[in-house]
Structure 1
């Protein structure tokens, strides 16, 4: 009984494959590691080449007439805003005897409210002494301006109260004059008028006393506010540690560089759409991943592993070639040099069975111009392949990179093994390769994946249903799938054990049913 899993439609595919995105970003680690290193170096350069200007800091305690325990900081923010005014800056410059413009000086200092009543002033200068002098002059100018505003407010309030008192005293004098002119013997009406004048005089006397008391209280609170506004922390230079600044700037640059590099790598991965998982590469090419070769070795043990993997790959491909009579080719995508090496290793393995000629179809005749070593097989160009003896086995080597002449691929071999570097070709180009090979009736035996991700745990086998190769390893012509991107995969020759046969496409296609009938 054969089961087949239906392929999902385009609408069921996720918008972004997070697993493929993570793998692709990890493969671009050189990019974001270089960006992080560049950010670290830039941070170090900024700390060393652009040291901060000499800075002085001072703290001022500011007393407010309208202080409240639940004040949200509005008053101290007002003081910070008043600190950045040309009046205070001009007063500080006059005390310093500096010819600088107040607008220019305001760019060299700043203030921040630490609490509702504590103001911190930071000033820069050409040297530590100049910065300290500027901070002291600025703090003194702010305190003097604040005290002056407190006194002006108290004087204005007291003057207003005293003006009200004087107006009431004038009215009281008129009332007293009216009382002196009235005679109690003039009758009941005069007595009633005199009584109202006495009541008015008492009211005016009370209000005059109240206004006088309030005017005195307005001036009483002023000394407390004046004494409460003072410099509580004398201006002092801020010491800058170069190692600490360098470490801080380097850490910030490293983080920003890594973030920027990761963002660029992620965006480039999504835009480029270059499959890196063996699952995706097999699906786009319509052929199973039958072997893998790691990337560039970084140590002796990895070189041994790469050598052992190449030997296993050569043995497997030699069995595949021996299992069929049709010529086999190796077609590369993004790994021409590795493909040439694999072809030479395979030709040496097949030389024990008879003469072997490697047909060089790579751009630039890379194999034909290569210096031969003792035991190397003959390498001929595509033009001389027709003149080779009929008894000589041919092994074609070509490319399916952009610019390939598709009609020449069939002359390299009607069966082929695709040697693809992970993350090199886009999904659209992998579909193009599969479609073009299907149209040229070149059967794909399998895919050899170069430089796969070591953490990739996806399955690169197409489990569309079993189909054994016919006796004698005869070929089946490749057919385009209904999706237009996949094609039939040729099984290994009948001489191979069943466990070593390559997975193929399902036999439920119309072509296979017709052949069965």
Structure 2
């Protein structure tokens, strides 16, 4: 037994994330992110109107620091901001206001902001403008008093330390003077050396006592400058809020947040769902070329209806030519567009009615066609149960579905040749693989794909070429394209992605 094997050319590695398909899919879901952006806009405006900011007062305090440096990175003013938000400052302010409120609760109603290294802004809220102004003033005065107190305490502590050192040296100087006065009158060499050492020590102590006294005086002299430099430079006043400006700001913030959230949800949903939307991907997954594109009837704009009618007329002519040129019956199988497929079937049946009686076999779930109210001149629509009782000279046109739950063995009774009518972005890649394999298993030749609701900016090529004759493709054959150029190639169809076994034995 001779086995012939064909080695296929290595295909280009598929990208982990197709940005073009992602952008197109996100753009197609513009209703989602547009709705979320609009919702964010409305919520932001509603928050500004229904929840206006409370009455707020503001004041500014100039804070002088003993350790001020030109290159200070703002550490001192940040320390002042944190000191402002302490229970000690809050308690002093509440005492001046005569309020029984707890300091912990009062701290939620105000905040401090360091504008510069020495300028502190205090913002306080209240039930009214007057209460907010009173709170801001009480906080500013309490902070200034606390800051001045800390400066004075630091200066007094430093001066006290210096004076204590001076007093200890005075006591030592008194002992040295007493030792000099009690010295022996004789003038032996040893006594003279001791006296000279005592006189030198007395001179050193006198100099250090004078130095400590001057330093203590300077420490106290510098304190009034710091005290005078710490003051309220901007009197407390109420802050006026503009409702239109606040509403516009909140609405803009809500719009941006809603838009970002909508784009993120659309992008994640697109990646997770893996629903092809480009002609190139749909044709590759189904293994058939896209022969026509039609917009959804609900989305067809007024100025595009003439173009849509012309496209439908060309499609009807093409399908009618295919029916006349072959003795095998033709069917239309839909995926996500039952209404559009019904309209195409009725148009095709009307075009074929000139050659003889035509009957449309309704194999769609429910009663999409057979349950409709017929109009004058419409072709005959029969259900699948009535199809066997028709006239043998009557031309049959089957209409079915390849949605999940389809009875695949019944599709061949609708027609051995078919045209798939697929809505872009409706079926996943795995399900499109399943449809292609099941149709090949049933020996149903796919003439082409009619794409419903395509992306108007899609410039990809949805044409496949798989040999000189339009023979049915088996489950192991799939056309391949690379860089927009068609090549004849046979390769394994990635059926395993659909989760369907190749045979009964493999399924077991």
Q: Please give the TM-score of this superposition, normalised by the length of structure 2.
A: 0.92
Q: Which residue of 1 aligns with 2:11?
A: 8
The counterpart of 1:369, out of the listed 360, 368, 371, is 371
User: Does the residue aligned with 1:107 lie in a helix, a strand or coil?
Assistant: helix
On the 8 A contact 1:480/1:487 being kept in 2, the answer is no
- Superposed CA RMSD in Å reads 1.9
Q: Which residue of 2 aligns with 1:94?
A: 95
Runs of at least 4 residues of structure 1 off by over 4 A? 4-7, 503-509
Q: For the structure 1 residues 132 and 253, does the alpha-carbon distance in structure 2 shift closer, same or farther, using more than 3 Å as the test? A: same
User: Does the residue aligned with 2:186 lie in a helix, a strand or coil?
Assistant: helix
Deviation string 1:43-70 (CA, Å, 9 cap, x unpaired) is 0111001111111111100111111111
Q: Which residue of 2 aligns with 1:420?
A: 422
Q: Which residue of 1 aligns with 2:476?
A: 481
Q: Which moved more, 1:314-323 or 1:181-190?
A: 181-190
Q: Which residue of 2 aligns with 1:344?
A: 346
User: Does the residue aligned with 2:198 lie in a helix, a strand or coil?
Assistant: helix
Deviation string 1:353-400 (CA, Å, 9 cap, x unpaired) is 111111110011211111111111111111111111111110000000
How far apart, in 2, do the equivalents of 1:33 and 1:421 lie?
Answer: 22
Q: Which residue of 2 aligns with 1:390?
A: 392
On the 8 A contact 1:36/1:256 being kept in 2, the answer is yes
Q: Which residue of 2 aligns with 1:85?
A: 86
On the 8 A contact 1:5/1:464 being kept in 2, the answer is no
Q: Which moved more, 1:288-297 or 1:215-224?
A: 288-297
How far apart, in 2, do the equivalents of 1:181 and 1:100 lie?
Answer: 70
Displacement, 1:312? Answer: 1.4
How far apart, in 2, do the equivalents of 1:504 and 1:198 lie?
Answer: 113
On the 8 A contact 2:9/2:489 being kept in 1, the answer is no
Displacement, 1:319? Answer: 0.8
How far apart, in 2, do the equivalents of 1:218 and 1:405 lie?
Answer: 99
Displacement, 1:487? Answer: 8.4
How far apart, in 1, do the equivalents of 2:310 and 2:65 lie?
Answer: 83
Aligned 1:471-510 pairs, distance under 5 A: 476-482=471-477, 486=478, 506=488
Q: Which residue of 2 aligns with 1:513?
A: none
On the 8 A contact 1:39/1:254 being kept in 2, the answer is yes
Q: How many residue pairs end up in the alignment?
A: 480
The counterpart of 1:305, out of the listed 293, 304, 307, is 307
The counterpart of 2:436, out of the listed 415, 427, 434, is 434
Q: Which runs of 5+ in 1 are unaligned?
A: 470-475, 489-502, 510-517
On the 8 A contact 1:422/1:452 being kept in 2, the answer is yes
How far apart, in 2, do the equivalents of 1:28 and 1:184 lie?
Answer: 113
Q: For the structure 1 residues 280 and 124, does the alpha-carbon distance in structure 2 shift closer, same or farther, using more than 3 Å as the test? A: same
How far apart, in 1, do the equivalents of 2:164 and 2:44 lie?
Answer: 66
Displacement, 1:7? Answer: 6.6
Displacement, 1:320? Answer: 1.1
Deviation string 1:255-282 (CA, Å, 9 cap, x unpaired) is 0000000000000000000000010000
On the 8 A contact 1:297/1:306 being kept in 2, the answer is no
Q: Which runs of 5+ in 2 are unaligned?
A: 1-6, 492-508
Q: Which residue of 2 aligns with 1:494?
A: none
Displacement, 1:505? Answer: 9.4
Aligned 1:281-292 pairs, distance under 5 A: 281-292=282-293
On the 8 A contact 1:276/1:452 being kept in 2, the answer is yes
On the 8 A contact 1:481/1:487 being kept in 2, the answer is no
Q: For the structure 1 residues 298 and 243, does the alpha-carbon distance in structure 2 shift closer, same or farther, using more than 3 Å as the test? A: farther
User: Does the residue aligned with 1:308 lie in a helix, a strand or coil?
Assistant: helix
User: Does the residue aligned with 1:403 lie in a helix, a strand or coil?
Assistant: coil
Q: Which moved more, 1:297-306 or 1:325-334?
A: 297-306
Q: Which residue of 1 aligns with 2:153?
A: 152
